[in-house]
Structure 1
Amino acid sequence: MFRVLLDDLNGAKEYEFNPVNPRGGGYIVKYVNSNRTEMCSTTLTFAQGDNEPTQPHLTVVGNDELQVNWVSASSEPGEVIYQVGGTDAWVTHKESRTPRTYKATDMCGVPATGTGFRNPGYFHSVSIPNLDQESAIRIRTGNATSKTFTSAPRILAGDAKRHKVLMVGDLGTSGAGQLGGARGFGVLEFPPESPGYVMTRYNESEFALGVIYGDISYANGFSTVWDQYGDELANNGGMLHPTVTSVGNHEYISLNNPTGWYPDFGDYRRPDSGGECGIPFSHRYPRDGDESAHNYWFSFDFGLVHYIMLSTEHDYLNGSSQHQWLENDLSRVDRNKTPWIVATGHRPVYDPCSSNGVAGDIGEMLRSDVFSLLEKNNVDLYFTGHLHRYARSSPVNGIVHVLAGSGRFTAYTCQNDLPHPMEKSLLNVGYVELDIISRRELNATFWAYDSSSDEMKILDSFALAK
């Protein structure tokens, strides 16, 4: 459900927002007064019907490919049509795998298995060769075709082209809060209490890549929120440049996840995913052609950087499959092609709020079992979210820790006692911009929303050199 709060429009005569095609005949739009009496109503339908390809986004797979993911009501394989740069020729790639979907019973708890469930449609994926600069792409399912997108190519491993990457965690959805809707219960309210300042900034051609490391939509068991998030990303850079996504607690952990990890430390037995237990996440963000466990941990190369996407929601201790995968992955990095290594994981090692004992327990285990590997292999940066703030460390055994988990929300107000090694701590909505300058230079900038000027401003920056 969408709700536009007229009293919050400050006298404006109109308000515009973009509801996603719900794959079920459209919407009933009602005008309801303060007494909840319906004054009038109409219907809102979508010209292409339920088969319309919606929520598209690009990602990177394999060594040199791109993958287009989208959602439709059609269970028939779709296709991606793209135009080779500088020519009039269009190339068609048909979907080779069966479109996938899931049922309420595939998940593990409420509200995902009950009031939060809505038929999610079918999830489609097509891998295509790398594009030329500003190539045109269309997506087709059934009798419906998407609009034409202009998409940037993937920068291949070893390519020294200077570029910028947006790094953020805990991004969320316009109209929703942190509980599966504006006030929970799957309802999206507009004007949004927490606007998408970061999402809007992502819709700029200056970025070559986006990396989102967990707590993506905050659907928390409500399918409607996932749909709206997917549409918001599609309208704000999702097809402009590749986006790579990893898992967080709000996608995976539950009180009774049948594949969950419940160690004797930390706070892994919680209802944070609203009973989703990774099912919507794994359907929306597949990793075709990658050596990974589903899509929970994996790596990829982009330009001069090797990116490692870890899952802090799965077993990462010595002897685990993820730990073994990480050791193998690090041993294969070609530092001649990718001199920089950037690792990400949803949960932080260091917390600027030293009173947070739970995060500290997890941090200790990450330090003892994961960071011995990262430090041994000279990883440069570790990005994390989970705590809704920004913080940055000085180098710890060569690794700079960056907490950038305020993609839409800020929380965890505390005394910034800045225990070593944290040098900076800020409670601002924002993101980190990585500027990959060369094999020897890399800059990072924290852009934060400033309410007094209604602009994004630089509040922190640092540089690395080799």
Structure 2
Amino acid sequence: MATSTRCSRRPPRGAPSAPLLSLVLVGIFLLGCSVPHALCYVRPPARANIAVSLAVTDINAPQQVHISMVGADKMRVSWITVASVSSTVYYGTSPGVYTSSASGSSSSYSFLTYTSGRINNVVIGPLLPSTIYYYRCSNATKEFSLKTPPGQLPIKFAVVGDLGQTGWTKTTLDHVAVSGYDVLLLPGDLSYADNVQSLWDSFGLLVEPLASQRPWMVTEGNHEIEKVSTIESFRAYNARWRMPYELSGSSSNLYYSFDAAGGAVHVIMLGSYTDFAVGTAQYNWLIGDLAKINRQTTPWVVALIHAPWYNTNYAHQNEGEPMRLAMEGLLYKARVDVVFAGHVHAYERFDRVNLKKQDKCGPVHITVGDGGNREGLASAYISPKPAISLFREASFGHGQFNVVNMTHARWTWHRNSNDISVVGDGVWLTSLFSTPGCF
């Protein structure tokens, strides 16, 4: 059952003054907010962009460090340097004591008049599960640390989309940092660079404190396309955020899958902005990927997309419909448990659905495009609220998907309420593999 939440009586900074409050509340009601506390929660105002810069005193120093999972026991360490350095990572389980090392490669890319620094990628491992490793990139003196995900259940995922780099982004990241998550899942729209390549550098610096400590697994959104003249799409995204697509048999960094918790959870990262129609490479790959899953050992299957297939917000209505028509049947037949999406700058949780109707064997669709981007919240909802939409709210925040065991998982959505993380929605989910009549 959904968690009931008392609404905060203290409005966030920048809330409307008392004479305007009644008009704001009426407007919220007319826009379709339907949760019990909606009439006493005031939407937070926008916050300014953050431009993170680094005074480079050492051209060999690593910056924008982030890590991602590569198979069951390895991690990719990615970082950027001004100068060309040895792409080597030294690591061990004690601070300052490095018992192992691994080497990789580096590259750079150009975008109009911009040329990136050297983007280094090194895969380290094998690594032990649930273990803290200390590491150093190349010959730099700064030491980083990471914690590997658990090799079995339980496992906690942080789920947040459409991050950007505003004051609200910083608040969201602060809340994620103390959540105790093992792996972060991001369904697209990372930096909102939108062709201004220096903003990719700023974003990398902003997220480094988190992304250097826990694996971030991402897929692309529309703001990653960055198509200009003859420049191919996704140039910066593919160069900076390389995912382990080859291991899942994918031929593109724009869609892939990976296992977590010793294979108990299978995560499918789909590409909303590359070909997905019947017969395309992504469609055929998805068929093959789903066919490999053994639900006896992998009871939980989760998919991520950017443009939601189910959406009762006026923003981006029906933009995910072509992909839904092409792929929903595949996910339904495979009994995918949850589909996370971004794109719409608000939060919404649906019932288990298929073909736009409630279906006990369909996935739960959840939109979490509320990370804190500069474009602001999407607060206009279709009214009356369709019955399949169980909770919707236009607030910044993030989600936590805690897979407790083979049969049950806890989902909670955490609203950024005046810089305090408040649980606004929560539900216990039962895996479809253990749901009578679905297998």
* TM category, shorter: 0.7 to 0.9
Residues 234-249 of structure 1: matches in 2 within 5 Å? 234-235=208-209, 237-249=210-222
Deviates more, 1:384-393 or 1:403-412: 403-412
Q: Which residue of 1 aligns with 2:389?
A: 422
Deviation readout 1:319-343 (Å, 9 max, x if unpaired): 1100000010000012233210010
* Distance (whole Å) between structure 2 residues aligned to residue 120 and residue 450 of structure 1: 37
Letter in 1 for 2:317: A
* Corresponding position of 1:278: 234
Q: Is the 8 A contact 2:377 2:396 kept in 1?
A: no
Matched residue SS, 2:324: helix
Mapping 1:160-199, distance limit 5 Å: 160=153, 162-174=154-166, 192=167, 194-199=168-173
Structure 2 residue aligned with 1:408: 372
* Aligned match for 2:398, one of 431, 440, 443: 431
Aligned letter for 1:138?
A: Y
| Higher relative contact order, structure no. (Cα contacts within 8 Å, ≥ 6 residues apart) | 2
Q: Distance in 2 between matches of 1:51 and 1:249?
A: 33
Residue 204 of structure 1, aligned match among 173, 178, 182:
178
TM-fit CA distance, 1:405:
0.2
For these two proteins, the number of residue pairs brought into alignment is 368
Question: 2:223 pairs with 229, 234, 250, which one?
Answer: 250
Q: Does the aligned pair in 2 maintain the 1:80–1:137 contact within 8 Å? A: no
Q: Percent identity?
A: 26
CA distance in 2, matches of 1:202, 1:58: 16
Q: Determine if the alignment matches structure 1 residue 298 to structure 2 residue 293.
A: no
Q: Which residue of 1 aligns with 2:420?
A: 455
CA contact (8 A) 2:227 2:234 kept: no
The structure-2 alpha-carbon separation of the partners of 1:415 and 1:347, relative to structure 1 and needing over 3 Å to count, comes to closer
1:228 and 2:202 are equivalent in the alignment: yes
Q: CA 1:254–1:102 in 2, change beyond 3 Å: closer, same or farther?
A: closer
1:50 is displaced (CA, Å) by: 1.2
Q: Secondary structure at the match of 1:244?
A: strand
The answer to whether the Cα contact below 8 Å between 1:286 and 1:294 also exists between their aligned partners in 2 is no
Residue type at the aligned position of 2:427: F
Please show how residues 21-170 of structure 1 align to structure 2 within 5 Å: 21=54, 26=55, 46=57, 49-84=58-93, 90-97=98-105, 99-104=106-111, 113-114=112-113, 117=114, 119-129=115-125, 130-131=127-128, 133-141=130-138, 143-145=139-141, 147-156=142-151, 159-160=152-153, 162-170=154-162
Amino acid at match of 2:365: H
> What is the CA-CA distance between 1:281 and the residue it aligns to?
0.6
State the Cα deviation string for residues 214-271 of structure 1 (Å, max 9, x = none).
Answer: 1001111122211111111112x21221111111100015476776xxxxxxxxxxxx
Map Cα deviations across residues 33-77 of structure 1 (whole Å, 9 max, x no partner): xxxxxxxxxxxx53xx11101111111012331111111123233
Indicate conservation of the 8 Å contact 1:168/1:432, yes or no: yes
- Give the secondary structure class of the aligned counterpart of 1:51: coil
Offset of 1:389 from its aligned partner? Answer: 0.4
- Structure 1 gap segments, 5+ residues each: 1-16, 27-44, 105-112, 175-191, 260-276
Measure, in 1, the Cα distance between the counterparts of 2:317 and 2:382: 16
Contact 2:256 2:268 in 1 (8 A): yes
Match of 1:213 among 187, 190, 199: 187
Q: Would you say the 8 A contact 1:393–1:402 is kept in 2?
A: yes
* Aligned: 1:394 with 2:351: yes
Distance 1:170 1:426, change over 3 A: same
Using the size of structure 1 for normalisation, the TM-score is 0.74
Give the deviation of 1:416 after TM superposition.
4.2
Q: Distance in 2 between matches of 1:155 and 1:316?
A: 32
Give the residue type in structure 1 aligned to 2:101. Answer: H
| Rounded Cα–Cα distance in structure 2 between residues aligned with 1:88 and 1:139 | 9
Is the contact between residue 82 and residue 135 of structure 1 (CA under 8 Å) also seen in structure 2? no
Shift of 1:90: 1.9
SS in 2 for 1:232: helix
Q: Secondary structure at the match of 1:316?
A: coil
1:51 to 1:344, Cα distance in 2 relative to 1, 3 A: same
Structure 2 runs not aligned, ≥5 long: 1-49, 354-358, 435-439
Query: For 1:2-21, what per-residue CA distance to the aligned partner results, in whole angstroms no more than 9, with x for missing partners?
Result: xxxxxxxxxxxxxxx99443
Distance 1:412 1:206 in 2: 29
Partners in 2 of 1:19 and 1:169 — Cα distance? 20
- Alpha-carbon deviation of 1:155? 2.7
How high is the TM-score relative to the length of structure 2? 0.78
* Equivalence map 1:355-370=2 (5 Å): 355=314, 359-360=317-318, 362-370=319-327
Distance in 1, Cα, partners of 2:216 & 2:202: 17
1:460–1:293: structure 2 CA closer, same or farther, 3 Å change rule?
Answer: same
Question: 2 CA distance for matches of 1:372 and 1:258?
Answer: 34
Give the structure 2 partner of residue 345 of structure 1.
305
Structure 2 residue identity aligned to 1:278: F
Contact kept? 1:136, 1:148, Cα under 8 Å: no
Aligned-residue CA RMSD (Å): 2.4
What corresponds to 2:272 in structure 1? 312
* Contact in 1 for aligned 2:96/2:134 (Cα 8 Å): no
CA distance 1:173–1:376, change in 2 (3 Å): same
**Residue in structure 1 matched with residue 39 of structure 2 by the alignment:** none
